[in-house]
Amino acid sequence: MRYKYVFFTFCLLFTIFSCTSLPEGLATKSEIYNADNVDFYYDLNYEADGERKFDRQIWDEAYKILDEAQDFFLMDIFVFNDFLGKGVREKLQPIDIATEFSQKILEKRKKDPNVEIYLILDESNTFYGAFDNPTHKKLEEAGVKIGYVDLAKLRDPMPLYSKPWRLFIRPFGNPKNVGKRKNPVYEGTDKVTIRSILRALNAKADHRKLIMNESTAMLTSANPHAEGSKHSNVAFKFSSPIIKEIYNAEKPVAKITKPDGSLKQSLPDKDFSHIPFSENNSLKLQYFTEGQTAINITREIENSTSNDKIIIAQFFLSDRGIINSIRKAAKRGVEFQIILNNSTAGLPNKAAAGELMKYARKHNYKINVRFYNKGEEMYHVKMLSILRKDYMITYAGSTNFTRRNLRNYNLENEIKIISTYDQKISKDILNYYDTLWNNKNGIFTLPYDKHKNEKVLNDLLFRFIEINGFGIF
């Protein structure tokens, strides 16, 4: 009889945590706005002439947004630190990008003290409340307002772990600056506590990647983080009245930052009326956060026809809804070109790619996958483009195609760009894809067969993790 009670309790807890809503104001969708221009930037790590090369563009553009700010500067970003894992410095020769960015912020505060600077950050930057981040403390001392998102307010992705954590661990608190244990992830940080490690295991994130001032916004896949400083990433910068909606979408995030932060859980109202509306109907923008991205991308794939081509460039591909939508679209005759990060362990990308490629081979569908030739770094891009007869649609931002990123567990943000083929942004995006797919002036991608893993065990492990929420995807 007691087994029935155990089973009933498990089912009840699973239902409770599966149905938990996001805090009010999240998972938003903006109106559609015309735009005069969207600038495309990328960091690329690739092989050419027998050596690794790195082309850097993104952070220089971010610094321009900071420098040009006249009223405020806002950055909502996942990782803003120079923590390094064991052996990373010797292996990657990373750029201390957070230190560099912090210095730029301090210079801006000195130069323009009336410009307010707001940073909304993930708890991982203090190892989930274990210690004060010394770099951030210097910024706060200079008048920068910083808030760390309280991740406990977000939905839990792992019912089997999350409920015990909430019942038996979280109530005891997570005292700061009293840790006695080495950081299990990063070298050279302050010591951590068991409770901060257990909090970290309840994995979710403020994964947004937004940089903006009163006139310009940039969405990117990059983090100002030494360990990821040489990853391949993309960014899109624009000026449009949509910026008002993007800023207002940050207010509910500010509300769920920790109360002891200098941000004080709020962002002030701002006036964006100085940004003119565009008459250019050939370029349009729309903004999504959290699960709205999944709803709209799924709808776009479902509405595609045999005349369309879809290009996906992704760090992680694992979401069952997206994978099923790809399968159905391929059945209708849609062509797919997919570039994936070459995940050494085989999860999730090789398992997902294996499923799609086996499906395509069996039915002679038009799905082709290439793995990024990443070296020691990562292909960290999150993009999808749909090429239709007269125009193309591109989604880009922070959102990996995973359950955590798409299904209202993490905080995410995404820009949708609708552009005719005569627009500069369309040409830039297509040239980027063409360069990578066809290895122009370098070795960017490798054929699927070079790194395929179609072992049954790999697929079973992928599906097990996918269902129960364990793992980082």
In tens digits, the chain (473 residues) has pLDDT values of 566 665 566 556 555 544 567 899 999 999 999 999 999 999 999 999 999 999 999 999 999 999 999 999 999 999 999 999 999 999 999 999 999 999 999 999 999 999 999 999 999 999 999 999 999 999 999 999 999 999 999 999 887 888 889 989 999 999 999 999 999 999 999 999 999 999 999 889 999 999 999 999 999 999 999 999 999 999 999 999 999 999 999 999 999 999 999 999 999 999 999 999 999 999 999 999 999 999 999 999 999 999 999 999 999 999 999 999 999 999 999 999 999 999 876 689 999 999 999 999 999 999 999 999 998 999 999 999 999 999 999 999 999 999 999 999 999 999 999 999 999 999 999 999 999 999 999 999 999 999 988 888 888 888 888 777 777 77
Which of these, 254, 208, 131, lies nearest to 410 by C-alpha position? 208
Q: Name the 3-class secondary structure at 148.
A: strand
* Pairwise CA distance, residues 473 & 222, whole Å: 18
> For 393-407, how does the pLDDT look when each residue is reduced to its tens digit (9 = 90+)?
999 999 999 999 999
Top CATH class, 283-468 = alpha beta
| pLDDT at position 18 | 47
* Pairwise CA distance, residues 327 & 347, whole Å: 19
| pLDDT at position 462 | 85
| CATH number of the domain located at residue range(s) 41-255 in this protein | 3.30.870.10
- State the Cα angle at 192 between 93 and 126, rounded to 5°: 65
Q: Name the 3-class secondary structure at 377.
A: coil
Query: What pairing do the DSSP bridges indicate for beta strands 283-289 and 209-213?
Result: unpaired
Burial of 15 per CB tally in 10 Å (0-12, 13-18, 19+) = exposed
- pTM of the full predicted structure? 0.94
> For 42-97, how does the pLDDT look when each residue is reduced to its tens digit (9 = 90+)?
999 999 999 999 999 999 999 999 999 999 999 999 999 999 999 999 999 999 99
> For 417-427, how does the pLDDT look when each residue is reduced to its tens digit (9 = 90+)?
999 999 999 99
Residues of the chain with CATH 3.30.870.10: 41-255, 283-468
